[in-house]
Amino acid sequence: MKNNINKIKRYMVAVFVVFLFNTSIVCAQPVKLIKGESFLIEGVYYSDISIEFSFSRAYLQALNSGLVFDINLDFLIVNVKPWRIDQEIGQLSQNYTIKYNAFTQRYTTLNTNTGRERSYPTIETTLRNLGTINKFPVVDDSLINIDESYQVFLSASIKAQGVPQWIKTLTFWRDNLDFQTEQTQWPLFK
């Protein structure tokens, strides 16, 4: 009896490990690296941001199947105060959608903030262009005290449109293609 229980326990552990392994394969992170730096031009702080997207097979399959992905970049400018609570100076977000057109066989990106649409023949080109953001205006110099320390925080999130929440709930053990990165930070100025 005890042996049987031990066998069942071992079997359950094995199933759990396999489940975790499978899950880890499916859930490959679509955003690998975020880098950024800020600079001041004519009273405005800008940032050059480099995001390395790496869509896994599941993402590509979903994209090519017709799913539209929302890519949101959330910026946060914080006045970092040692020994005190940090002060939030401002926040802004940059939102994109990316989709694949089966007719044109091109990937289209749309900046929903500006309405600017671009199409690319390959996903690599699309993601590379999407991940390269140059001279992005962050904050006005008038809001900044040069004697203090400021940090720019950026987190990126990817979300598949058209997948109902209940499906996500019921298939909680599967990759639901939604992803949120940790916050990356860099100083507003050195």
Partner 1 sequence: MATFQIKQKITKKIIFLLLGLSAFSLFALMFASDNPEEFNRLQTPILLVNTVSFFVLFILVALSGQQLVNDYKKGKLGAKLRLKMTLVFGMLSIIPVVVVFFFATNFMNKGINVWFDAEVETGLTNALVLGRSALDEQIQEGLLKSTNMSLQLTSIEEIDQQLHTLRESSLALELLVLTRELQIIGQSTQTLSGLNSRLPTKAEIIQADSKQSWTSLDASAEGAYLVRVLVPILGLSSNEMPLYLQSMFSVDPALSMMAESVEQTYAKYGRLTFLKIPLQYSYIFTLALVVLLALLIAVYGSIEFSKNLVEPIESLEEGTRLVAEGDLDIHLPRAGKDEIGILVNSFNVMVKKLASAQTEASESRKIIEHEKTTLQSILSGLSAGVIVLDEKQNITLINPAASMILNVDAEQYIDCNVKNIIKTNDLFSQFISKAISKIEHKKSWREKITLDLTDSTREIMCSYRELLSSTKRAIMLLVFEDISDFLKAQQEAAWSDVARHMAHEIKNPLTPIQLSTERIRKRYASMLKADDLDFLSKSTNTIINQVELMRDMANAFGEFAKDPELQFENLDLNQLLNEAVSLFEEEKNTEYFSLVLDNKVKLIEGDVKRILQMLNNLLTNAIDAVVGVKKPKITISTKLLTKQGRAFVELNVMDNGHGFNKKALRSAFEPYFTQKTKGTGLGLAIVRKLVNEHNGWVRVQNNPDQGACLTIIIPIKRERKTNS
121 part of the interface to partner 1, by CB under 8 A: yes
The one among 4, 134, 145, 165 contacting partner 1 by CB under 8 A: 165
The one among 117, 124, 140, 148 contacting partner 1 by CB under 8 A: 117
What 8-state DSSP symbol labels residue 33?
Answer: E
Return the SS3 of 112.
coil
Site for partner 1 in 11-50 (CB under 8 A): none
**Residues in CB range of 165: below 8 A, 6 or more apart:** none
174 part of the interface to partner 1, by CB under 8 A: yes
The one among 14, 66, 113, 148 contacting partner 1 by CB under 8 A: 66
**Residues in CB range of 168: below 8 A, 6 or more apart:** 176, 178
The one among 6, 24, 29, 61 contacting partner 1 by CB under 8 A: 61
Binding site for partner 1 (CB under 8 A): 61-62, 64-67, 99, 101-104, 106, 108, 110, 115-119, 121, 125, 162-167, 169-171, 174
